[in-house]
């Protein structure tokens, strides 16, 4: 009886050791069996960065993150939770990270950690071709649709005044654009990638995109992490690697049809280290 009991205990211990060896908590470039699965949350309503294609989450951010995770040695489980829940999930550490066109700013850095910047962005104005709006200054007295909680909203709060009735806030940019197309708004202010791709993909809507670099500052997206996470170092290293080996540039060209400004991106990455 005692020998049998001892044998059972040893078998259990062996099973635990084998199981523990199958999961890596530190990333790296080990075998598939050693990769740890990370829970990723996103707001998949922000084409072309992250959006639903049937029941699948796709987009530039998704392909970028998958490339970085592969380099770092992690598997990903990506879930669409919506914009506001992203920050709740990350702050409470129920999710490991988020990629969702999240601009890096000082206010967010007080509560969260960010990876190195991975995308250069600026807000632009989307209007109809026959619109008399030519700059951000022309938005005064106009109705502007924005996604709530974004830097586009912040820019309009600053320009038109916080809680101005002419700023219409929506849960996502798709709804903001639909509001303008239906005549409920004169313009949409959102990230350049969003409005440029929408105008390009919908030529029948007869839209144009207005750039005003004097009114809208350059922004950079980063991967969002819980404060103090060890994952930041792994992903920072991976991001630098896929930038250096051309993987990042290839993904960018596939989604946007043009080359990224690698000089500005690399300079911002160096300044962030």
The pair of three-digit structure tokens given for residue 88, joined into one six-digit string: 């709740």
Q: Determine, yes or no, domain membership for 20.
A: no
If asked whether residues 74 and 154 sit together in one domain, one would say no
Q: Determine, yes or no, domain membership for 12.
A: no
C-beta separation of 208 from 127 below 8 A: yes
Domain count, the chain: 2
Q: Give the structural domain span for 201.
A: 122-218
Please indicate, yes or no, whether the overall pTM of this predicted structure exceeds 0.85.
no
User: In sequence order, what are the residues at sequence separation of 6 or more whose Cβ sits closer than 8 angstroms to the Cβ of residue 210?
Assistant: 124, 125, 126, 127, 133, 134, 135
The pair of three-digit structure tokens given for residue 122, joined into one six-digit string: 């600026």
Beta strands in 54-105, from DSSP E residues, in sequence order: 56-58, 74-80, 97-98
Identify the pLDDT of residue 149: 86
Measured CA angle at 163 (ends 158, 168), to 5 deg: 95
Identify the pLDDT of residue 236: 98
If asked whether residues 70 and 106 sit together in one domain, one would say yes
If asked whether residues 89 and 205 sit together in one domain, one would say no
If asked whether residues 82 and 152 sit together in one domain, one would say no
DSSP letter at 190 equals E
Identify the pLDDT of residue 121: 92
Identify the pLDDT of residue 34: 64
If asked whether residues 184 and 214 sit together in one domain, one would say yes
Give the helix/strand (H/E) hosting 38. strand 36-42
If asked whether residues 213 and 234 sit together in one domain, one would say no
Task: Looking at 75-148, list the stretches that DSSP marks H as alpha helix, in order from N- to C-terminal side.
Answer: 83-91, 106-109
Residue 265's CATH number: 3.40.190.10
pLDDT along the chain (273 residues), means of 10: 40 42 40 76 94 97 98 98 96 98 94 98 96 97 94 94 96 94 98 92 96 92 97 98 98 93 95 93
Q: Which residue among 194, 218, 242 closes a domain?
A: 218
The pair of three-digit structure tokens given for residue 71, joined into one six-digit string: 């380099």
Identify the pLDDT of residue 175: 95
Q: How far is CA 92 from the centre of its chain?
A: 19
């Amino acid at each position: 009886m005692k020998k049998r009991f001892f044998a059972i205990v040893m078998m259990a211990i062996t099973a635990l050791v084998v199981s523990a060896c199958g999961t890596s908590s530190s990333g790296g470039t080990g075998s598939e069996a050693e990769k740890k699965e990370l829970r990723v949350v996103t707001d998949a309503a922000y084409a072309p960065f992250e959006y639903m294609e049937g029941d699948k989450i796709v987009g530039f951010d998704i392909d970028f993150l998958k490339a970085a995770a592969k380099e770092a040695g992690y598997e990903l489980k990506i879930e669409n939770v919506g914009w506001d829940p992203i920050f709740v999930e990350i702050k409470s550490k129920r999710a490991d990270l988020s990629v969702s066109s999240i601009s890096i700013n000082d206010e967010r850095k007080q509560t969260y950690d960010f990876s190195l910047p991975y995308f250069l962005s600026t807000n632009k104005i989307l209007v109809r071709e026959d619109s008399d709006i030519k700059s951000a200054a022309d938005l005064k007295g106009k109705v502007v649709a924005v996604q709530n909680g974004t830097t586009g909203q912040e820019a309009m709060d600053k320009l038109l005044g916080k809680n101005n009735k002419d700023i219409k806030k929506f849960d996502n940019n798709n709804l903001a654009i639909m509001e303008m197309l239906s005549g409920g708004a004169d313009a949409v202010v959102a990230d350049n990638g969003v409005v440029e791709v929408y105008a390009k993909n919908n030529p029948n809507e007869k839209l144009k995109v207005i750039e005003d670099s004097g009114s809208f500052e350059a922004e950079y997206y980063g991967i969002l992490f819980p404060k103090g996470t060890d994952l930041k170092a792994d992903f920072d290293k991976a991001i630098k690697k896929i930038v250096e080996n051309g993987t990042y540039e290839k993904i960018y060209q596939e989604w946007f049809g043009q080359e990224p400004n690698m000089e500005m991106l690399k300079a911002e990455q160096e300044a962030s280290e």
